[in-house]
Chains A and B, each alone.
Chain A
């Protein structure tokens, strides 16, 4: 675990995030992509092939999944895709709101320049994912989450949690992007979405790691044990929240699976899923352990 408690370490983390943001600003300008021009959207997608690699589907390895026919699995892969990209859209909607809240406010002067590039890129990700959902699924699934706190936390804790939530989602979604982009059995437009997203998210994750390290250093530096404990518990529970979110009952309902909520709960709690869950969060958990947030 790195000790970021001293003022010297806080200054180092601040300098590091500024250097990272400056480097990423240059990269964003030099390697910009405009998906509004770049993407060639087909009229329709074949309904008789998988839209998501089977090993990434929520039913993979589960007893409930084995009860489905090949036709049902293919149909479900379409709706899992629509949910997965809808989930991306909503994740980006929340992060755009949170980053815009911080931009050009005290404490964020050093990284606001890069935030403009970050916001522009995330806005286009949200555009191409929502276009995909509406064009091939006829809808963007609704988002049920509501953020509220019964007990207001300190500003430093909230600032850390905002960027920690962004980073965790980006890292988890990137796990899917890399596998889908490389799978040649998946329709080309889906691979392209994932490949472009991965390309730009690698910069966003580098940004996220440097900001999260700096902001957690501030929480640690104040030395308030209850704040540190709150962050630890919240982050551990947020991992669980993200994993649960992969199993939207509506996608099973749309795929024509009976008793969708019960099916979803059976799949989600199947012991076989823990292997996938562990792999999905391994890299980002390692990062949070390295900076001392979790054990």
Chain B
């Protein structure tokens, strides 16, 4: 899966949860949390969506959201070999 196609699917996910966001520009480096595109009540659904896309378990360890800030950071994190998740 390319970054471009992942990016398109994340936008689709966000808009499906809140159609009002279809007018908002969501770039690959847009901060999804600060811009309230993903909030705590959407977060579990977002993780399940990511697990399905990358076919691996996804969890915010100890509530650390740093990897979830942007489409690009999520893509690079979850595209890395699985061992890297334990670093």
Contact = CB atoms under 8 A, between A and B. Distances in A.
Nearest to A261: B52
A151 B39 CA distance: 10
Contact of A144 (B39, B44, B65): B44
B29 to A, nearest CB: 17
A128 interface: no
Give chain B's interface secondary structure class: helix
A172 to B, nearest CB: 15
For chain B, the bracket of interface size reads 10 to 19
A261 B65 contact: no
Interface residues of A, number: 18
B60 A146 contact: yes
Contacts of A249: 48, 51-52
A244 B45 CA distance: 8
Contacts of B45: 244
Nearest to A241: B41
Contacts of B36: 150-151
Nearest to B68: A146
Contact of A149 (B40, B48, B63): B40
Given A150-B33, A150-B34, A150-B36, A144 B52 contact: no
A148 B63 contact: yes
Interface of A: 142, 144-151, 234, 237-238, 240-241, 244-245, 249, 261
